[in-house]
Structure 1
Amino acid sequence: MNILRKGKVFTTYWIENSKKEKVVLKLINCEYFSDSKKYQKILKQFQIEKNILKLLDFNFIPKYISSTESCLCMNYIEGENLKDIKNKLTYKEKLDILIQLSQIVKKLHNAKIIHCDIKPENIIYNKGKVYLIDFGSAMLDGEKVGYIQGSKIYSAPEIYTEFVRCPQNDIYSIASIYNQLIEEEKKDYRIIYGGMKKNKRERFNSIDKILKILFEIRRKI
C-alpha cells in the first residue's frame, strides 16, 4: 500500500484493485484500538462519514465503494492538493478554484451536509477541475458532534466551542481560503468581512453570497 496522508487519527493509502484501478483506503490508526473510549468516539464519527458518502451521489467528491468497521474504500481522485500548488496558480485559476469549491459546498448545504474541514489540503485540483475530499469531520446541519475537530486558520471560531454544526462553519472556511489565496492588492474585502465575522450570526447566511461576489469579480477580468 502507498501512503497518501498520515493523520493523527486516520491514515489513507492508495492501492490497485483487481481491475488495476486505483482506490483509496482510509483506516483508523492502530494505536486507538487499545483505548476503547476513544475508539468508540472515532467509530461513531467514521460511521457518519461513511453514511454521508453513501448518501451523496454527485461529482467532485469521493465516491463510496465499500467499508468495514475500521476501513473505508473510495475512488482515487487524481490531482494535486491546493496547499502544494497555490503559489503556481494564476489569479484567474485561483478565482475559478474558489468558484468551483463554493459550488460544491452549495450542493452539500442543499443536501443538509456541513463539511466542517474545508482547507487547502482537502481541495484537489486536476486539469481545471476542483474536488473536495476528506469528509471525516462532516455532519448533518444542526446535528450534535461527539467531539471537537478543526484546522487552524481555516476553521470558524465556534468549531472549537460549539457541538452543533451549521453552514456558517463552511462559509468561514471558504472566506479564509480566499483571504490566504488571493494577493493583498486583489482582495475583495466583502468576502472577508462578510464571511469571516467572529460571530457566526453576523456572517453571510448562504454560500450564494460568496458565489455572487466571485462571479462578479471573475466577469471583470
Structure 2
Amino acid sequence: MYIINNYRFQTFKCESNLHKSNYAVLINAAGKGIKYAPYADFSGEYNVLKKLNHKQIPKVYDVGHGDLYKDERFLIKQNFIVLQHIDGEDILEYFREKDVEKVKVINEVVKMFLTVCDPLIYLHAMKYIHCDIKPGHLICNRETGLGHIIDFELAIKHGEVLRGISREYASPEQFRILDYLRSQKGDHGEDGLPSSMQLDGRTDLYSIGLLFYETLTKKKWQKGMDLPHKINKNISQKLEEIIMGLLEEDVSNRISSAEKLEKMLRSI
C-alpha cells in the first residue's frame, strides 16, 4: 500500500506510455487517479485544467507535494496532482491488434478521430493549445467510443512561450520556436517570442495528423515517407487528403481548425 497525503494506491509505476511521471488509480477515491514525480511541477497543469470543463478532458481535484510512504515506511518526497481517472487505452494500442487495412476498421479509426474534434474545438475556443498530443495523451474508451485528451503539463495559453516538446510528435513550428529560444540569451516572458512564431490550434492538428497516419499505416510519419494509400491500399483519396492536410509543414497550408477537420471527417 502506498500513500501520499492520504491518497492511497497499490502500485508504484508508470501506467501510461510515454509519461515522465508515475500514475496510479486511487483506491480510496472512486474515479480518481494520482500523477506524481519527485521533480515535476504540476501547478501549471492544475491551473489549466481547473479552467476547463469538457467530458473528454479530465477534471482536476488537487495539487501539491508530500511524503510518499510504502506500508508506513517513508520512501521519497513527491509532487502530485489528483485527476479524474480516464479508463482506456492510448490510440495506437487501441488499434494495434486490428487489421487497419479493412474498410470497417478504417471507418472505426475515422470515427475515433472524429470524436477528438469536439474537445479540441472546446480547448482552442478557450484559447489554449495542448502542445503535446501523442499516443499516451489520446486515450480511447471502448465502452463509450470516445477519445479523451489528457496530460496538460505542456499546455499553453495563446501567446505564451513554449514549455517543451515531445520530439516524435511535435510540429515543425515547435522545433523552430525551440531553436529560436535556445539561440537567445536570458529569460523569455510572454513578450519574448516574435508574434510570427506564436502557436495556435494548428499545432495540435499537426500532431493529430501524425497519430492519424501512424494508426492507419502502423508507421511513423517522416518527411518523404510514402503517402498513406501506398501503405494501406484501402485508404480513400479523400481521407488521404485530410491526413496530408494535417501534415502540411507550412502552417498557412494546414487544415485551419478543429471545426474544419470535424466537417471534413463527417463528409467521409
TM-score, scaled to structure 2: 0.68
Supply the distance in 2 between the matched residues of 1:124 and 1:87 (Cα, whole angstroms): 13
CA RMSD, 1 decimal: 2.1
SS at match of 1:68: strand
Q: CA distance change for structure 1 residues 67 and 159 in 2, over 3 Å: closer, same or farther?
A: same
Does the CA-based 8 Å contact 2:137-2:149 persist in structure 1?
yes
Supply the distance in 2 between the matched residues of 1:76 and 1:177 (Cα, whole angstroms): 22
How is 1:161-180 mapped onto 2 (pairs within 5 angstroms)? 161-162=176-177, 164-180=198-214
Letter in 2 for 1:143: E
Task: Show the counterpart of 1:57.
Answer: 53
How many aligned residue pairs are there?
200
Q: Identify the match of residue 15 of structure 1 among 11, 15, 26.
A: 26
Supply the distance in 2 between the matched residues of 1:167 and 1:98 (Cα, whole angstroms): 16
Task: Show the counterpart of 1:142.
Answer: 159
The reply to whether residue 115 of structure 1 matches residue 111 of structure 2 is no
TM-score, scaled to structure 1: 0.81
Q: CA distance change for structure 1 residues 123 and 66 in 2, over 3 Å: closer, same or farther?
A: same
How is 1:1-221 mapped onto 2 (pairs within 5 angstroms)? 1-2=10-11, 3=13, 4-5=15-16, 9-17=20-28, 21-28=30-37, 30=38, 32=39, 42-43=40-41, 46-69=42-65, 70-89=79-98, 90-126=105-141, 127=143, 128-145=145-162, 147-152=163-168, 154-162=169-177, 164-182=198-216, 184-185=232-233, 186-187=235-236, 188-217=239-268
Task: Show the counterpart of 1:39.
Answer: none
| Greater Cα shift, 98-107 or 88-97 | 88-97
Q: CA distance change for structure 1 residues 213 and 57 in 2, over 3 Å: closer, same or farther?
A: same
Does the CA-based 8 Å contact 1:175-1:195 persist in structure 2?
yes
Supply the distance in 2 between the matched residues of 1:171 and 1:212 (Cα, whole angstroms): 14
Supply the distance in 2 between the matched residues of 1:210 and 1:216 (Cα, whole angstroms): 10
* Structure 1 position 179, deviation (Å): 1.6
Does the CA-based 8 Å contact 2:58-2:84 persist in structure 1?
yes
* Structure 1 position 177, deviation (Å): 1.6
Gaps of at least 5 residues in structure 1 are: 33-41
Q: CA distance change for structure 1 residues 5 and 129 in 2, over 3 Å: closer, same or farther?
A: closer
SS at match of 1:16: coil
Supply the distance in 1 between the matched residues of 2:248 and 2:147 (Cα, whole angstroms): 26
Identical amino acids, percent of aligned pairs:
25
Does the CA-based 8 Å contact 2:16-2:136 persist in structure 1?
no
Letter in 2 for 1:16: I
Gaps of at least 5 residues in structure 2 are: 1-9, 66-78, 99-104, 179-197, 218-231
